[in-house]
């Protein structure tokens, strides 16, 4: 694009923008030329352009200038100035409110502008019919131009149109044909020039039905102007001839329409030779357009989308391979750290040898001892070293007879052995801590390896868009007035995910989810909605088979500010619900901090994607490393909403209960609380839940007060399907039995969807 230089200033003129506003001006001129209804029709076009975000500072003078060509007098100029002023005010108000201008307000202001013009003419000329006609036309045509203009100018002509957009564009086509049929010069009517060009545009789409429908709509507009019903048959046959030969070449379609128009002229049916000439000019104009322009006017090709899909999937496979390699690196690190020897190198035998070497070896009397023993003194010092390593200190009572009878520095020897023993104990403790850290790091690396491997498998699944499934979804959504400008499907079956880019107004429509589910034969639900400029992207995931309703009832110990029990309800994935209860040892802030620390670590590990067993092992070792004796009993229930599976994990927690329709199952725990032992053996149990089954988790304050039998009897006596009601009843009964400790009850109920 070459800039235009004028008076030392450079102006960049965008040809597309200039063409768009030129066409807008021509539309104003065309509709103003229709006579009495010209103001209402042009007002509708003005409203549609304003809603389609065309510059009001440009279209306003174009509207006024076009109207002044056909309307005379100062009063006409006043009418023409009303729409720009009112629409500028409308957009200023909504801009100050930081809100988008709704369609109804644009149509309302169009009616108000028409009302000003109509009432004035009614008062001055008594033309009541024109008032009613202006109001009705401005409302209907304003709505058509607003909806249709937004679809064409904002989303683009390549996008599919919804039912309401199709109706609005069709009515605009009828009005456009009505206006063009009234413009003629020496028998040459603008209608046939436009008809030839537009028909060729639709022929290129390859859909004969669309071409015939357009021909019918344009002919209806011509009939409204001329009342010559033969035009309908002529236009439909012209459109049919063009679409029938479009598979050969575009020139064949142009020649076919021209030849058929000449035949109608010879038969003296509706058209003259002038019409045939204009049809030929209009159709050949399309045929001679550059290929790039013709491709934009035709339907979008799927080839580009297929190529893009292949590129995306190739990149995903590359990322999957890299993630798999990094996963192997973390796995190797985990194996290497896990292979380190835990054996303690600091033993009593080694301590004895070091004292014999460093102390006895420097003694002036060493030769006497060495000669008597036939070796160094490590064997006779060994009892002293063993005493130090076992009891922490050695005394004169531990000295062997050999040393007491020969060593003249026995008290110094005891001091050296005790000091060396203290050093050894420090080194031993440090070695254990280092080993524990290595074990934790090994498990963390192993967990990272699992997560990366899972991501690798997820990225290895191809995504598709612009395929048959996507096109079917988009077409079905259009039937429900939902526009999906982009559709992406990743995976297949129960693990598939769908992303739809739709208008903001379509996000809340219930038919969106049901239509996608019906087309893909898989139930879906909305996972999240993200912004994407003017539109929204709706992310759909496979809908769960079950939902979980839950209730929580709790009470802190009397005299304490906080409860020592902590709880968490997590949803690490759409099909997994995690309910966790941590009971800190004791009560008050310290117990609360211990239980919260455990739950926070568990929550973060679950969100990161670690496996259940690995999470508990790492949490236990991390709490052991803290070394402040803040222990927690953990009670975890993991419910899979896809199949109703239940995993219960207990560490030092009280018994759990599963309430079924005809029985109550008890899940006991014999493992100590988290943080007591280096090695943990949690009680894990896998159960299958069915619709209506309930799960009860309770802290020791509740179970100690009621006992297992008390909880079971109470659960059977309380005839309720509300988990919150049951939780409240259990807590109230425990308090009635004199419960003094922190009390927490969690009740979950599985509900089939």
Residue with tokens 């290497």: 336
Taking a C-beta distance cutoff of 8 angstroms, is the pair 746, 696 a contact? yes
Task: Give, in degrees to the nearest 5, the angle at Cα 421 between 418 and 424.
Answer: 160
Helix/strand/coil (H, E, C) string of 161-225? CCHHHHHHHHHHHHHHHHHHHCCEECCEEHHHHHHHHHHHHHHCCCCHHHHHHHHHHHHHHHHHH
pLDDT on residue 750:
93
Question: Which pLDDT does position 11 carry in this prediction?
Answer: 45
Within the chain, which residues score under 70 in pLDDT?
A: 1-14, 73-74, 121, 123-128, 130, 155-159, 205-207, 295-311, 339-345, 440, 444, 447, 458, 461-467, 491, 493-495, 534, 559, 584-595, 597-599, 608-632, 670-683
Q: If you ran DSSP here, which 8-state letter would residue 96 be given?
A: H
CB atoms within 10 A of CB 429: 11
Q: Could you identify the residue written with the tokens 């006579």?
A: 35
| pTM confidence score | 0.53
> How would CATH label the architecture of 463-542?
2-Layer Sandwich (3.30)
Q: Rounded to whole angstroms, how far apart are CA atoms 213 and 236?
A: 8
Burial bucket for residue 213 (CB in 10 Å: 0-12, 13-18, 19+): middle
Domain residue spans of the chain: 14-156, 173-300, 302-460, 463-542, 546-752
Is CATH 3.90.1720.10 the classification given to domain 546-752? no
Contacts of 285 (CB under 8 A, 6+ apart): 196, 197
Instruction: Give the per-residue pLDDT at 629.
Output: 46
Cβ-proximal residues to 202 (8 Å cutoff; 6+ apart), any chain: 210, 211, 214, 239, 243
């Amino acid at each position: 694009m070459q800039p235009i230089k004028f008076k030392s200033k450079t102006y960049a003129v965008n040809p597309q923008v200039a063409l768009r506003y030129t066409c807008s001006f021509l539309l104003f001129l065309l509709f103003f030329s229709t006579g009495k209804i010209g103001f209402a029709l042009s007002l509708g076009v003005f409203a549609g352009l304003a809603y389609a975000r065309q510059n009001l500072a440009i279209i306003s003078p174009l509207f006024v200038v076009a109207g002044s060509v056909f309307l005379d007098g100062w009063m006409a100029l006043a009418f023409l100035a009303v729409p720009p002023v009112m629409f500028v005010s409308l957009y200023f108000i909504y801009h100050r409110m930081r809100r988008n201008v709704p369609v109804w307000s644009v149509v309302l202001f169009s009616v108000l502008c028409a009302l000003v013009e109509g009432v004035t003419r009614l008062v001055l000329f008594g033309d009541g019919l024109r008032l009613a006609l202006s109001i009705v036309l401005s409302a209907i045509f304003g709505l058509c131009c607003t909806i249709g203009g937004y679809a064409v100018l904002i989303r683009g002509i390549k996008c599919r149109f919804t039912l309401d957009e199709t109706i609005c564009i069709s009515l605009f086509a009828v009005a456009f044909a009505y206006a063009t049929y009234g413009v003629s010069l020496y028998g040459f009517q603008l209608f046939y020039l436009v008809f030839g060009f537009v028909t060729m545009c639709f022929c290129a789409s390859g859909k004969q039905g669309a071409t015939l429908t357009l021909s019918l709509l344009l002919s209806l507009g011509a009939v409204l102007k001329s009342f010559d019903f033969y035009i309908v048959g002529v236009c439909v046959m012209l459109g049919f001839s063009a679409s029938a030969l479009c598979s050969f070449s575009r020139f064949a379609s142009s020649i076919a329409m021209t030849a058929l128009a000449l035949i109608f002229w010879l038969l003296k049916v509706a058209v003259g030779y002038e019409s045939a000439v204009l049809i030929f000019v209009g159709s050949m104009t399309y045929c001679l357009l550059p290929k790039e322009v013709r491709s934009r006017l035709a339907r979008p090709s799927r080839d580009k989308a297929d190529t893009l899909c292949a590129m995306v999937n190739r990149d995903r496979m590359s990322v999957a391979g890299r993630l798999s390699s990094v996963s192997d690196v973390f796995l190797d690190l985990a194996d290497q750290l896990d292979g380190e020897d835990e054996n303690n190198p600091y033993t009593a035998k080694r301590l004895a040898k070091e004292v014999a070497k460093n102390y006895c070896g420097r003694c002036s009397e060493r030769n006497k001892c060495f000669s008597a023993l036939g070796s160094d003194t490590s064997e006779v010092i060994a009892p002293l070293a063993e005493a130090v390593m076992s009891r922490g200190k050695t005394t004169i009572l531990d000295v062997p007879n050999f040393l007491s009878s020969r060593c003249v520095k026995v008290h110094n020897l005891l001091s050296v052995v005790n000091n060396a023993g203290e050093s050894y104990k420090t080194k031993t403790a440090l070695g254990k801590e280092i080993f524990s850290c290595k074990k934790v790091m090994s498990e963390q690396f192993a967990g990272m390896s699992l997560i990366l491997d899972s991501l690798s498998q997820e990225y290895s699944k191809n995504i598709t868009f612009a395929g048959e499934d996507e096109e079917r979804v988009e077409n079905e959504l259009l039937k429900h007035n939902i526009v999906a400008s982009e559709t992406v499907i990743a995976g297949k079956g129960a693990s598939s995910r769908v992303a739809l880019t739709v208008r903001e107004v379509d996000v809340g429509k219930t038919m969106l989810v049901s239509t996608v589910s019906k087309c893909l034969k898989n139930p879906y639900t909305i996972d999240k909605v993200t912004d994407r400029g003017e539109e929204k992207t709706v992310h759909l995931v496979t809908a769960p088979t079950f939902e979980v309703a839950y209730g929580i009832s709790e009470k802190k110990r009397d005299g304490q500010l906080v409860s020592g029990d902590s709880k968490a309800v997590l949803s690490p994935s759409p099909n997994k619900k995690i309910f966790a209860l941590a009971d800190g040892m004791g009560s008050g802030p310290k117990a609360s901090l211990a239980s919260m620390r455990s739950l926070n670590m568990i929550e973060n590990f679950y969100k990161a994607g670690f496996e259940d067993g690995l999470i508990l092992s790492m949490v236990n070792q991390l709490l052991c490393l803290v070394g402040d004796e803040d222990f927690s009993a953990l009670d975890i229930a993991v419910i899979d909403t896809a199949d109703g599976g239940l995993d219960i994990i207990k560490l030092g927690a009280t018994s759990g209960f599963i309430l079924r329709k005809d029985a109550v199952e008890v899940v006991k725990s014999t493992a100590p609380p988290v943080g007591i032992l280096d090695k943990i053996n949690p009680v894990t149990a896998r159960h299958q839940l069915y619709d209506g089954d309930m799960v009860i988790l309770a802290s020791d304050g509740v179970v100690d007060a009621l006992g297992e039998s008390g909880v079971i009897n109470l659960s059977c006596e309380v005839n309720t399907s509300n988990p919150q009601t049951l939780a409240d009843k259990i807590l109230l009964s425990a308090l009635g039995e004199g419960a003094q400790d922190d009390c927490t009850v969690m009740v979950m109920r599985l509900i089939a969807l």
